[in-house]
Amino acid sequence: MGEQRKEIIRIDGIYHCPECGSRRILIRKQCVVYKVEDANSGKQLNPNTLKAQMSNREKAWEYDKASGEGVGCWNYECKKCGWYSEIYTE
């Protein structure tokens, strides 16, 4: 029997840290990013143009549009004291 992690506290829709009471709560969630690679060379391709060049801006866009839907895996973390919750799944 391991030590039970404290659960996130939610009051009126606002998340609070169960350790220090801070509202500086982060959610870390797993998201799906679809990559396109050349099957033989393993080279990463731009998923839109299928060319090898991919700008940092395009990479950032892929990150931003990555969805957590269907993955359903996340945890909470306090930015102030470092507390973090267990991993929740849908």
- Contact pattern from residue 19 through residue 58 relative to Zn ion, giving x for each residue in contact according to CB under 5 A and a dash for the rest: xx-x------------------------------------
3-class SS at 30?
coil
**Applying CB under 5 A, does 8 fall inside the site for Zn ion?**
no
Cβ–Cβ < 8 Å for 85, 77: yes
CA torsion 76→29→43→59, rounded to 10°?
-90
Report if residue 80 touches Zn ion, rule: CB under 5 A: yes
Q: How far is the CB of 8 from Zn ion (least distance, A)?
A: 10
- In this chain, which of 62, 74, 81, 84 binds Zn ion, going by CB under 5 A? 81
3-class SS of residue 70: coil
> Of residues 8, 25, 54, 78, which one binds Zn ion by CB under 5 A?
78
